[in-house]
Amino acid sequence: MALPAVSRLGRYLLTVIAGGMLAGTVAAQSSDNASLEAQRAAFKQAYATASQGGDSWRPLAEGLQNYPLYPYLQAASLEHDLQQTDRATVEAYLREYPGLIPANDLRRDFLQELAQRQDWTDFVAMYQPDLGDALSCYALQAQLAGNAKLDFNRDLATLWAAPALPSACDPVLQAAYDQGLLTPARIWSRIDAAVDAGKAGTVSGMAKWLPPEDAQAAKNLALALNEPATATMAAKQWPDTARAREAATLALVRLARRQSGTADTAWQTLQGRFHFSAEQRDRVLNALALFHATDFDADALARLVNLPASAQTPASRDWRVRVALAEKNWQAVLDAIAAMPPTQQQDDEWQYFRARALSELGRSDEAQHVYAAVAEQSSYFGYLAADRQGAPYVLCSTQPAADAQAQQSVLAIPGIRRAFELFAVGMPKQARREWTLALANADAQTIRQAVILADERGWYDRAVFAFNKGDALRYYPLRFPLASQDGLVPQAQQAGIDPSWAYGILRVESAWMSDAQSGADARGLMQLVPSTAADVARRNGLAWSGGDSLYDPAINIELGTRYLAQMQDRFSGSAWLASAAYNAGAARVNQWVDARSKLPPDLFVATMPFKETREYVARVMYYSVIYDWRLHGTAAPISTRMAPIGQLYNRPDPPSTRKDLTCPAPSVAAASSAPPPAAAASTAASKASAPTSDKVH
């Protein structure tokens, strides 16, 4: 049926009405946003006051009773005043906010306080299981205070399996020993678990409860863990018992990691002193071969080739290839890869180097066939292989569709509302906890929509951690955000470095967690140690207001890009070497350069002794390509980013050299043997940690 004609006046009135409705909607939305911002500002002020204890926060929180984060205020005050707080006050809060994270924290912390007071009556009344080993042991202390006897299976079996326990458990373990529950067999089972975990303190602590003849054997194990060189010297006087043989094996293996030559000498002495088992001999021989390899000793390749099959591991097979690469012994490279099990051979790294070896040996047709298969992967080695073929890069990028109805359901989850507000008020750690709890049992669609909402709010690390496997790896725009509000591109340009490289470093270092902090106290998005950041600020005439300022993304990026520029200048403009130095330290990289500077960059990276640094450089270079594509739609080839050592690097970037990133249909051969193109892009970025100081294989 035809619609009746609308008069000019009618159309005008409809337009006025619609315009008024739209203006009203916009005005209402603007008013809502202003109200929310006011609530956030009020919460921040009230929370800062509540964190100092007392009730002074309450007047500041007027009107916040319906704000999602209101329960955090009283909890902060109670946490500060915990030593003066009574059970009734805490229980009242727990009744008002059951199951909330601040309530659970308050219960746990108040139980700790009650234990310190030795108020076992209130402790037992409030205790709940599964709150951690310390509180479990305090609960057992409460039992002991009431003259109850311990039962090993009921009370201790779970704790006993832990290789290390908090000090709260010491009185409980002593009581268990006094009651005759810690038999030598049980003690040795815990010692064995502690040795496997490298917990020398636990081993030493258990030794005192063993008979004298066994106590020394336990002390020998602790010595092997802590001081392997001393242990191998002392082992010359040990009896040839099963425990002594295990301690000697452990000492030799650990010494090989630190001083392979000294371990060799000790092995020559001790192998005639003890009747080592075949398994123990294999462990020692493997460690000696492996760590002579990481030292690139003259006989390293021969050791690995001659290693008995029973002593070989994936790491020793890897290092057989790496040593051959360092020597540019291309036939040995092929032989080493051929000696791997089929599944290990198919790793894109080894297929790439198989193609490299074939090419160097003049077998070009075979090499190109292998390169073609590797180049169908979106990865560091896939892109190196594509450069060898002059082929475009594979990148199959998709974006999950936003679903307004599903997003409303997500926003109706109280924990998600709290998570978003905690992020908005600058409390990302608490925000992540609320997020994790709220989505613990969520389906994939709910998580996708939650991540899209988080990304819209600038909470970028949610995508990095949520989309880390399967088809979700293809959500490249979410997994590799640009975050223009943090100013990385202009800061990188001012520092004279490639923004895509700076983005790659940031993405690997922190996974976009602005509050990331490593064990070495590296902080923020680009993981700067405060002392380093202070030095960078001084050199560049930038303001410096202390270590906590590194949690501000803009400050962190300003200082981080300048530090990257310093590292790049130190290595003749080489971003890939600067990346290695950013992870492992410039001094170590200089040592590696002094030893193997003639190697091409791809071989040099493959022969870095630290597994973490090899993978770090590969990820940074790969991520740099992804970010280049995100910024420009095409990318500079990965090979142009990796100039030979000693060659001054000036970033060439003419349009004719740039790469297209496409998503072709995989070949039949590649589809049958290779993972999906995005599979190799999986990141371990959740760690945001400092590099290890040990050689890693």
User: Which of 543, 542, 509, 503 minimizes the C-alpha distance to 524?
Assistant: 509
How would you class 278 by CB atoms within 10 Å of its CB: exposed for 0-12, middle for 13-18, buried for 19 or more?
exposed
User: Which of 472, 481, 474 minimizes the C-alpha distance to 503?
Assistant: 481
Contact of 563 with 536, CB cutoff 8 Å: yes
Which amino acid type is present at position 409?
S
d(CA 155, CA 172): 10
**For residue 406, what are the CA distances in angstroms to 28, 334, 402, 446?**
23, 53, 8, 7
Query: Residue 393, SS3?
Result: strand
Query: Residue 518, SS3?
Result: coil
d(CA 257, CA 252): 9
Beta bridge partners of 663: none
Provide CB contacts within 8 A for 502, sequence distance 6+: 488, 491, 492, 495, 526, 557, 560, 561, 564
509 is catalytic: yes
Torsion angle of C-alpha atoms 377, 383, 385, 386, degrees rounded to 10 = 90
Provide CB contacts within 8 A for 318, sequence distance 6+: 344, 697
Count of all residues that appear for the chain in the document: 697
Contact of 224 with 245, CB cutoff 8 Å: no
The alpha carbon of 578 is separated from its chain's Cα centroid by a whole number of angstroms, namely 21
> Which residue is listed with tokens 């791809």?
602
Catalytic residue among 349, 376, 509, 612: 509
Q: Beta-carbon neighbour count of residue 400 at 10 Å?
A: 20
428-438 and 414-424 helices, crossing angle to 10°: 160
DSSP assigned state of 55: S
DSSP assigned state of 512: T
Task: Please report the beta strands in 33-166, taking only residues with DSSP state E, as ranges in sequence order.
Answer: none
Q: Count how many Cα atoms sit within 13 Å of the Cα of residue 291 in the half-sphere of its side chain.
A: 21
Structure token pair of residue 199:
């917990």
For the chain, percent helix, then strand, then coil, each to nearest 5? Answer: 70, 0, 30
Structure token pair of residue 566:
């310093």
d(CA 441, CA 450): 13
Contact of 293 with 300, CB cutoff 8 Å: yes
d(CA 434, CA 101): 7
**Region label for 530, one of left (φ > 0), alpha (ψ between -120 and 50) or beta (otherwise):** alpha
Contact of 554 with 484, CB cutoff 8 Å: no
d(CA 305, CA 618): 27
For the annotated catalytic residues, the residue numbers are 509
